[in-house]
Structure 1
Amino acid sequence: MQVEAYLTFAGNCEEALKFYERCLDGRIVALFRYEGSPMDNEQLPPDWKSRVMHATFDAGGTRFMASDGMPGQPAPHYAGFAMSVNIPRDKTLAKQAFNALAEGGQVAVPFEKAFWGAHFGMLTDKFGVPWMVNSED
């Protein structure tokens, strides 16, 4: 069994995934649009055809999934969870990932040495997704 996060965006999923590719040295491994899907019918607004119906993102063998929400759904509001990135034994790489994710976002806890010995920081990225970045070194 694997438990994987699924992020929903308000029309900017592809932009967010390209941002995460750069920040996390990852890649989009699958991306399906509404156009050509079973959802592509007369009820689908024309501006939704190019939006992401489903995508899979991989960074270092760990993946999460994402999409643009369905037409008419409210914009997502992320609360009560955070995406967690652990980069063991490389605080420099972890700090780079933290700083990249923080671009245009809001830092809640700066990335620095934590009382438990690891380097750790928390932020909300420019898409509203909360992140925790950790490096045990």
Structure 2
Amino acid sequence: MIKVNPYLNFQGNTEEAFNFYREVFGGEFLMLQRFRDTPDFEKLPARDHDKIMHVSLPLGQGNILMGTDSLESMNQKLHKGNNFYICISTESEAEADKVFNALSTDAKVEMELQRTFWGAYFGMLTDKFGVQWMVDHSSEEQDRDQI
């Protein structure tokens, strides 16, 4: 495995939270993408277009704090305990399959491993213990720090 990074979910205030974290930890965002920058964004209510789809902030040597706004318009409701994921970035699709399939035992799969519009091989699940996981493999051409 290449990296294990926290992925935080917020109810509409991701930008505020990450600006605060940037002040605390320093550095610059590796990526800040809004929902208006995604395919089919026009299917979302206008109030969600400027919400954060993905943001990443480097922390120290090789660690990245990542986050997103959970959208009620997409039936995403947050409460304590479901407001974060552990993101596993693998070295190959085969390793991603192995990890995802093992974690999937008695799990609730939210998104099967698949190619995404951002070019990653990616899936999400909540394991049998209630821990939320993202499994990701990005191709060699893609800058891994942009995940």
Q: Does 1:32 align with 2:33?
A: yes
Correspondence for 1:74: 77
Alpha-carbon distance in structure 2 between the residues aligned to 1:76 and 1:36:
27
Structure 2, unpaired ranges of 5+: 85-147
Quote how far apart the aligned CAs of 1:78 are: 3.5
Q: What is the count of residue pairs matched by the alignment?
A: 80
| Identity score, percent | 30
**Aligned runs of 1:1-137 on 2, under 5 Å?**
1-42=2-43, 44-61=44-61, 62-70=63-71, 71=73, 72-78=75-81
Quote how far apart the aligned CAs of 1:65 are: 1.2
Alpha-carbon distance in structure 2 between the residues aligned to 1:6 and 1:26:
18
Q: 1:39 to 1:53 in 2, by over 3 A?
A: farther
Q: Which structure's residues are more often helix, by fraction?
A: 2
Q: 1:39 to 1:16 in 2, by over 3 A?
A: farther
Structure 2 counterpart of 1:75, one-letter code: L
CA contact (8 A) 1:26 1:60 kept: no
Q: 1:73 to 1:4 in 2, by over 3 A?
A: same
Quote how far apart the aligned CAs of 1:39 are: 3.9
Could you say which structure has the larger radius of gyration?
A: 1
Quote how far apart the aligned CAs of 1:77 are: 1.8
Structure 2 counterpart of 1:49, one-letter code: H
Q: 1:31 to 1:76 in 2, by over 3 A?
A: farther
Quote how far apart the aligned CAs of 1:7 are: 0.5
Alpha-carbon distance in structure 2 between the residues aligned to 1:78 and 1:22:
25
Structure 1, unpaired ranges of 5+: 82-137
TM-score, normalised by the number of residues in structure 2: 0.48
Quote how far apart the aligned CAs of 1:59 are: 2.2
